[in-house]
Amino acid sequence: MISKLSPLFIVLAGCLWGTMGIFVRRLNDAGIESMNIVFIRALFTAAITFALTAIRNKELLKIKLRDVWIFAGIGLISIVLFNFCYFTAISMMSLSAAAILLYTSPIFVMLMSAVIYKERITIRKIIAVLLSLAGLSLVTGVFGGAQLTPAGIVFGLLSAFGYAMYSIFGRTAINRGYSSLTTTAWSFAFAALFSAFFADYGTIFDAVSDSVLIIPYTVVFAIVASVAPYVLYSLGLRGTETGKAAVIASVEPIAASLFGIILYHEIPTLQSVFGILLVLTALAMCIITPKKDNR
């Protein structure tokens, strides 16, 4: 059953990740910025996931010492490094340019999966990636005079690499028998540990003092934009090739655009609508498996 629903799990994960901008805007308004958001998000996500896992089955919290590097790698590279590089790229060039560089991540995933897991790079996958990049370029408006800088490009590509590594580390965790809850719990525990060195505790304390609603709001943020999507994505990886999963997850900016239309009345352009259709075509190519491939 999980295998059949795997693409749906990944689509749902992407849609939930697309809500992140909504929560981040509110936290920014409260005076909490980039790395502080990374820290509190990781901290609350780890706490919630550990609690859920303990309630379900305490045995799932056990990991082998020789596998610690997997979860530490996700925490450091796929969460902390990814966020740091992405936020830095945004500060150096336009948001659209940073976004399109981030979503070159399926290329990294496809190449690494071919080397590490011997997944085939097919014409269908290549076309899907190209369609997705073209669609995202139109959605983000990168062709509308986006500002690019050499340093910004480097940080943008590093953010894509960090983002891609979650799929690689996640696949390794699955192959070693760890559940999606185990992977999410320990990954965010390490992310909280590493991001703690960059957090400004005074700013966080002041924000909480000004509004007690920040804590329950952050709990909802952690559940909706972290716990649920990461668990769903890990479940989706169980029945989907890593390269295809990365392309399907690119539904995230499409979901973010739709949330922008619904909540902030952001009017879509004809260009962005066409871009959304291209991305959805790429998703369909990854989700619908030809009969020839089945045989």
- Taking only the tens place, the pLDDT of each residue in 142-180 is 666 556 788 888 998 999 999 999 999 999 999 999 999
CB 241 within 8 A of CB 174: no
- Residue 253, pLDDT above cutoff 90: no
193, burial (CB in 10 Å: exposed 0-12, middle 13-18, buried 19+): middle
pLDDT tens figures, 7-66: 999 999 999 998 887 888 788 888 888 889 999 999 999 999 999 999 999 999 999 999
Distances (CA, A) of 235 to 7, 77, 146, 180: 10, 21, 36, 6
What pLDDT was estimated at residue 101? 84
- Residue 189, pLDDT above cutoff 70: yes
The band of 294, judged by pLDDT with boundaries at 50, 70 and 90, is very low
- Please report, as a single letter, which amino acid is at residue 77: I
- Please report, as a single letter, which amino acid is at residue 134: A
Supply the mean pLDDT for the chain. 88
What pLDDT was estimated at residue 23? 86
What pLDDT was estimated at residue 131? 94
The band of 228, judged by pLDDT with boundaries at 50, 70 and 90, is very high
Identify the sign of the CA torsion 151, 18, 260, 137: positive
Average pLDDT over residues 86-111: 83
The band of 258, judged by pLDDT with boundaries at 50, 70 and 90, is confident
What pLDDT was estimated at residue 119? 92
Q: What percent of the chain has pLDDT over 90?
A: 61
78 or 211: which carries more pLDDT confidence? 78
Element (H, E) at 99: helix 95-102
Average pLDDT over residues 178-196: 95
pLDDT tens figures, 261-284: 787 676 778 888 898 899 989 999
pLDDT tens figures, 110-126: 999 999 999 999 999 99
DSSP 7-31: HHHHHHHHHHHTTHHHHHHHHHHTT
- Please report, as a single letter, which amino acid is at residue 93: M
What pLDDT was estimated at residue 252? 84
Alpha-carbon gap, residue 56 to 68, rounded angstroms: 22
What pLDDT was estimated at residue 137? 85
**Tokens for 57?**
């089955």
What pLDDT was estimated at residue 143? 66
Give the residue extent of every domain in the chain.
2-294
Identify the sign of the CA torsion 9, 97, 146, 39: positive
CB 211 within 8 A of CB 26: no
31: left (phi over 0), alpha (psi -120 to 50) or beta: left
- Residue 230, pLDDT above cutoff 70: yes
What pLDDT was estimated at residue 295? 42
179 or 139: which carries more pLDDT confidence? 179
71 or 97: which carries more pLDDT confidence? 71
- Please report, as a single letter, which amino acid is at residue 7: P
